[in-house]
Structure 1
Amino acid sequence: MPRPFALGLTPPDWLVRNLQPQQAPPVNRPAVARAAVALTLPLALGLAAGRPEYGALASMGALAGVISDTADAYRRRLLNIAVPQLFSAIGITLGSLVYGQGWVTVAALTGVALVSGMISTIGAVASVSGLLLLLNSVVGAGLPMPGDWWLAPLLMTGGGLLVLVQALLAWPLRAGVPERSSVADTYRKVADLLAATTATTADTTDAYDTARHAVTQSLNQSYDLILARRARHHGRSPDLVRLLAQLNAVTPLVEAAPAVRLSGRPLPAEVPTAVRHVAEAVDTGYSGPLGLRLPTPTSEIGKAVDQALRHAAEVVTGGSPDALTRADDHLGRTAPLRVRATRAARDVALSAASWRYGLRLALCIGIAQALVSLIAVPRSYWVALTITFVLKPDFGSVFSRALMRALGTVVGLVVAAAILSEVPRGWWDVPVMLCLAPLIPVFTPRGYGYQTAAITPVILLLSDILNHEGTGLLVPRLVDSLMGCGIALVAGYLLWPESWHARVGARLADAVADTAAYVEHVFGAGGEDPGGRARKRRRLYRDLSAIRTEFQRALTEPPPTGRRAAAWWPLVVAVERIVDATTAARVRVKQGAQPPSAAEVAQVALQLRELADGLRRTDVLYEVRSDLSGPPGSVLEALRQEVAAARTITSPPDGDAAR
């Protein structure tokens, strides 16, 4: 809710959201150590060899590796760091080939921006690869590189590989540990969710919603880690089969949570405690008896939780043969994942959304390069660098990033000013870099502005080693950054109407439509297909996560977009309650309740699809086009009530916030 103004000086709510640091996990100390070594060692070696500019180039490559070093699983680290380094080398080579070529440089960078934008929409690794392709093309086209044309890409790749080698040092000793830790973390978050199911006050209700969102994100991450590892694993892997069985075994507990919540009967405190014991067994690989002390359940829902918990404990410690067989079959079906991933990447890269984003990025880069070709701007490559960072499609709101980029740059420039004015160039750069480098992995999880503030003094220090401009770098960098933010806001944001609208309604509609498919599957002929049910349920998890992500992103936009997005909140809650009611109904049927008839299932699915259609159109949401009544006492009665409640909520103002 907007905050009241005090003396007219209280900042607007959207600005407060942008400035507020994100809730960050504990500091990743290994990543901090890798950043310190990777950015400092090349600099020291360059100084020792009498070629500090070579060390600065290698440290720039290491900086790209540090930015890419975000994965937990070792195989993901290999991809996350190595693949972007390849594109980084291509970028610096292309840029250096068109350095000082005037309008040829403008055309070349505009073309690279188009390709970079289309690549960036494929996925996380492709996004960083596209970023570094354009980023280093701009650097190569704006800075004279020392030595032959091949030396700069070689040095920068070497710096990035230094990060990769450090990241993979423990792989032989800790192979599989990140995946196991991720599954264990999912169990712990499920324990928190079950502990929050007895919430009755507003504060504890918020705790339940927060815990459910955390479970959704953790499940998505764990499945992604395991299935991605399977896609690169030849043959059967007992460890992967066991991990997937353990992860599948937690799903009944997740599904039981909303049933407990809706029943109003609190769970004994021993239940969440027992789930945490199971999590510890997953984390340590323990396979002996757990000796769980669980009270005798007194209700159908309590029995469902008890059965789900005991089954999970059996799978984790003893490896239930049926669960392992189902997981083995599931992993077997993921064998052609590379083919599907390649096809999906191709479809995404050639989609209309990819072309639109590529054109936006190319337009902004083209304008920036044309502008600095016509106007004398010292070291003008910083303008295009700013645009490259601000216009990333998966980094959140363009407006928010432009704002945080400007603020973060100002803070970084203040730090850089003190360093460049007080610290002489030479060996003193080594301890300074040793202090600055660890701040990047520390501040990056807290938000883009904090990351910018940490990276800016590092880049300015390395640039000064290459150009020897001292404090003369500072004002031009500030002007260039503000110019880049302005171009991104005008040509990449204001000129594109799609930027003005939150897509919350579209995400909600997808979740409701997928809920309809889930209802038809679990209460219809597909109810006996556990694999299909699990896949549809995981899709619902991803839908709910996408809704929250899009909603939070939209709230950081200035009025009227942020205000319209806030109006969706009642419907966000309503759709989450619809999903809860659906899973609760399935739990009740599994515990012996009368299943709904085929006619009732078809009717409820129709109601859900009509609701999804209304969410997409946003102007007919409150109209009831089908009969919302049904047999009294049916397991789907609560679901029908939630659908009816959602349809009574007035759509957001102006009707265009969903598009």
Structure 2
Amino acid sequence: MPWTTALRSTARAGFTLERAYTEPMRAVRGALGAAIVVFTALALGSPSLATSAAVGAFIAGTATFQRSYRPRPVLALGAAAGLSVSTFVGYLASPWPPLFVLVLGLWAFAAGLAWSLGPTAGVVASTTIAVMLVVVTLPESVPQAAEHAGVIAAGGVVQALLVVVWPVRRWGAQRDALADAYASMADYARRLRDDPFAAFDPEPLMQARSAAALTPGQARRRPAELGGMRAPMERMRPAMAALADPRVGAAEEGPERDRAREILNAAAEVLDAVAHSIRTGDRVSVPEWTYRALAVPATGPVLTGASRQSGRLLIGVLADIAESLESPGGTGEDARQLGNLSRPSVPEMLPLAGHAVRRNWRWSSPVLRHAVRVGAVAAIGEAIGLALPFGHGYWAPLTAVMVMRPDFSQTYSRGVARIAGTVLGVAVASAVIRLAEPNDWVSSALAVLCIGGAYLTLRTGYAAMTACVTMYVVFLLAMDGAALTATGEERVAETLVGGALALAAYALFPTWQTVRLPDLLAAYIETGGRYAAAAVAAFGAPTTADRRAVREALLDYRQARADLLTADQQAAVEPVRHRGLLHSQVTAARSAMAALGRSAMLLEAHLPAPRTDPAPVPGAARFAEALRAETARAAQAVRLDQPVDLSAVRPCYESWTAELPAPAAGSTDPAHLVVRDAGLLADALEGLQDALGD
């Protein structure tokens, strides 16, 4: 899209304020932590020490708002530790401006690399740069610098203790993630009732998997209703799709279709009740008519063959889920089999962090390019700030660093919103100080109120949050006797410089998601082929290991899909286009790959039970290998911008079907089921070739 349209679209996002994303009780708790630290430091120390305390408490509290399933006290303590180190290191280098600019640039580069560990680590690391820029101007000696670093750490400790003694919605993030996954399954059941080919969104299930990764301490304290609840969802997903699909399940019209709709509607009711129970901790409450709808009709079974098999599996799983939540202490056999994902401790994360950084240590990585960009901008911004005739040269690099993100849309939306929010915050705070002339204690109280406002708007409305942050900083500086007029003028001028510097840096050295689409689409095709091949191969020599292989391939496929979807959404607002891969081709290819994933899901629905000893399906392993090889070849063609040719899959499938005897009508023989569903895989790959072959 054109630059003007892209800028208008991204700027609008920075000014959007949605009440649904505000968390008043957490905002009150965070503001209380800041108040405790600020007033204590002001009573026992000096205004400059109170300023450091406020900065440390505010940013440590901000860390507890980040999207993370780790214990929130750990986030506050980790942020405080990083802030203390950055403050002390920055002060040691501050007497020599060239050295400080170099240290700042290297620190900003390392903070940019922290995005390879995830958004939470990236955001917290970015705040350490801001603290290095601001707090180093307050101490006057090395002992004072150590004292300020200690006060900042104390702010993190206080915020961590408040999280422990005043939990807001204990296990709320984990409950919400699992409940959202069940609610999405209920929505999927309702959509299948009306549209047998409705698309399945795996994102809520991916979030539920992330939430299920626990530390040992969390695992011991976790409520029973959160344990072992993901496995039944995974079993329901293919069963619902197989029941609704007229090609492999209930007939398109007639009594079978009516019965399938009845079961899917009842399943949605049960899943909604389960989602509510998980979210609130209440017992499951399902209407009696729902249970009657799931029971076999008095006239006898309506479904036959494979559709009856899928319906029985779905009803059985629903009964297990409801029973596990109604039982006070149990989470079902599936919970014991599934176990818990292991969330590594902080020491165990060090090698994982090193691996993540090495994985992104390539020029095409958005994280490395962001690290280079933010490091250069921080150093250049500080040099410009020092050269300007102002007394607080840190506002230009601070604005640039806090604005910049690895992608275009966030950087530009935050840049425009921060400039507007800073100007508004300076104007309001300046007017209050000029009219009221508050003393240190009143200024501290006003700063704490602004911190509460910043927490309240932290997840929505970046302009409003920036205005609150700016006001709290102005009130803190007023305690230290800074000249108000000069401070306001400097902050506005340098904010404009820093915002312009950040926007110009991304324009001159961008990381366009558009140019990454071919690689991400290729990965999506390759992982989709591996998932389909694993599902087919599981019928060739059924073992427990084959089931695990299907599961692992499914997770890789979901991650590749999520990566492509995120990049495609970000590319849609970028002012560039890819010359080789058209947007319409990406859309058509995603549709074909969704059909491939759905067909593999149907195969997964008919996998033999783990405790049975099914006969292997002849030729399944050979066809699976052909799927794997041909999709890998197609992925390579996409990377090289060559036509995609998947024509070899159909002859291989026809050759396989010719080897097997014709099945009897209504047969549920595994060989017949897998061959029938594999034909849908061949159809989906032909659709992919049509999308990308020209």
TM-score normalised by the shorter chain: which range applies?
A: 0.7 to 0.9
SS of the counterpart of 1:150? Answer: helix
SS of the counterpart of 1:279? Answer: helix
The 10-residue stretch of structure 1 (512-521 or 411-420) with the greater mean CA deviation from structure 2: 411-420
Give the counterpart of 1:223 among 187, 203, 209: 209
**Per-residue deviation, 1:274:** 0.9
SS of the counterpart of 2:575? Answer: coil
Distance 1:154 1:565 in 2: 55
Q: Deviations over 1:441-466 (max 9, x none)?
A: 33222254454344332233323333
Gaps of 5+ in 2: 247-251, 297-301, 658-674
Distance 2:605 2:278 in 1: 25
Distance 1:457 1:238 in 2: 40
| 8 Å CA contact 2:443, 2:478 repeated in 1 | no
| 8 Å CA contact 1:61, 1:156 repeated in 2 | yes
Say whether 1:480 aligns with 2:494.
yes
Query: 1:255-654 alignment to 2 at 5 Å?
Result: 255-259=238-242, 262-263=245-246, 267-268=261-262, 269-283=265-279, 292-295=291-294, 296=296, 298=303, 299-300=307-308, 301-318=310-327, 319=330, 322-328=333-339, 334=342, 341-350=349-358, 351-352=361-362, 353=365, 355-393=368-406, 397-426=410-439, 427-430=441-444, 432-446=446-460, 448-491=462-505, 493-496=506-509, 498-499=511-512, 501-524=514-537, 525=541, 528-529=544-545, 530-560=547-577, 567=584, 568-588=586-606, 597-617=620-640, 619-624=641-646, 626-629=648-651, 630-631=653-654, 634-650=676-692
**Per-residue deviation, 1:498:** 3.9
| 8 Å CA contact 2:385, 2:397 repeated in 1 | no
| 8 Å CA contact 1:98, 1:141 repeated in 2 | no
Distance 1:200-1:355 versus aligned 2 partners, 3 A rule: closer
Code of the aligned partner of 2:147: L
| 8 Å CA contact 1:409, 1:456 repeated in 2 | yes
Distance 1:571-1:469 versus aligned 2 partners, 3 A rule: farther
| 8 Å CA contact 2:522, 2:635 repeated in 1 | yes
**Per-residue deviation, 1:377:** 3.9
Give the counterpart of 2:109 among 101, 110, 114: 114
1:7 is matched with: none
Say whether 1:137 aligns with 2:137.
no
Code of the aligned partner of 1:390: V
2:665 is matched with: none
Code of the aligned partner of 2:132: S
Distance 1:181-1:486 versus aligned 2 partners, 3 A rule: closer
| 8 Å CA contact 1:383, 1:484 repeated in 2 | yes
1:160 is matched with: 156
Distance 1:400 1:565 in 2: 26
Q: C-alpha root-mean-square deviation of aligned residues, in Å?
A: 4.0
1:656 is matched with: none
Distance 1:516-1:337 versus aligned 2 partners, 3 A rule: farther
TM-score under structure 1 normalisation? 0.82
SS of the counterpart of 2:73? Answer: helix
Distance 1:465-1:373 versus aligned 2 partners, 3 A rule: same
Distance 1:267-1:23 versus aligned 2 partners, 3 A rule: farther
**Per-residue deviation, 1:48:** 5.1
Q: Deviations over 1:77-130 (max 9, x none)?
A: 022211111010011111222234221221221222233233342234532442
SS of the counterpart of 1:437? Answer: helix
| 8 Å CA contact 2:178, 2:211 repeated in 1 | no
The 10-residue stretch of structure 1 (541-550 or 101-110) with the greater mean CA deviation from structure 2: 541-550
Give the counterpart of 1:253 among 211, 236, 244: 236
Q: Deviations over 1:610-633 (max 9, x none)?
A: 33334433x225444634453477
Distance 1:562 1:409 in 2: 39
Distance 1:581-1:438 versus aligned 2 partners, 3 A rule: farther
**Per-residue deviation, 1:561:** 7.1
SS of the counterpart of 1:196? Answer: helix
Distance 1:66 1:175 in 2: 17
Code of the aligned partner of 2:432: I
Distance 1:226 1:458 in 2: 37
| 8 Å CA contact 1:607, 1:643 repeated in 2 | no
Q: Deviations over 1:383-415 (max 9, x none)?
A: 111222223438964344434433443444444
| 8 Å CA contact 1:121, 1:349 repeated in 2 | yes
Q: Deviations over 1:350-376 (max 9, x none)?
A: 333465443332222222223333443
**Per-residue deviation, 1:341:** 4.2
Distance 1:474 1:561 in 2: 44
Distance 1:600 1:107 in 2: 58
| 8 Å CA contact 1:93, 1:140 repeated in 2 | no
Distance 1:170 1:433 in 2: 22
| 8 Å CA contact 1:621, 1:649 repeated in 2 | no
**Per-residue deviation, 1:600:** 2.5
Distance 1:121-1:336 versus aligned 2 partners, 3 A rule: closer
Q: Deviations over 1:201-228 (max 9, x none)?
A: 9xxx9xx66xx54xx3433333223323
Distance 1:408-1:548 versus aligned 2 partners, 3 A rule: farther
**Per-residue deviation, 1:273:** 0.8
1:655 is matched with: none
Distance 1:526-1:371 versus aligned 2 partners, 3 A rule: farther
| 8 Å CA contact 2:542, 2:608 repeated in 1 | no
| 8 Å CA contact 1:518, 1:537 repeated in 2 | yes
Distance 2:323 2:394 in 1: 59
Distance 1:177 1:397 in 2: 27
Code of the aligned partner of 2:377: C
| 8 Å CA contact 1:24, 1:445 repeated in 2 | no
Distance 1:563 1:400 in 2: 28
Say whether 1:195 aligns with 2:190.
yes
Code of the aligned partner of 1:587: A
Gaps of 5+ in 1: 4-9, 653-659
Distance 1:114 1:470 in 2: 33
| 8 Å CA contact 1:142, 1:381 repeated in 2 | no
Code of the aligned partner of 1:229: T
Q: Deviations over 1:175-212 (max 9, x none)?
A: 656534542332223212222334559xxx9xx66xx5
| 8 Å CA contact 1:504, 1:547 repeated in 2 | yes
SS of the counterpart of 2:676? Answer: coil
| 8 Å CA contact 1:42, 1:159 repeated in 2 | yes
Q: Which has more radius of gyration?
A: 2
**Per-residue deviation, 1:19:** 1.1
TM-score under structure 2 normalisation? 0.78
| 8 Å CA contact 1:47, 1:55 repeated in 2 | yes
| 8 Å CA contact 1:116, 1:130 repeated in 2 | yes
Distance 1:80 1:30 in 2: 18
Q: Deviations over 1:278-299 (max 9, x none)?
A: 3344456678997744334733
Share of identical aligned residues, percent?
Answer: 17
The 10-residue stretch of structure 1 (49-58 or 476-485) with the greater mean CA deviation from structure 2: 49-58
1:12 is matched with: 5
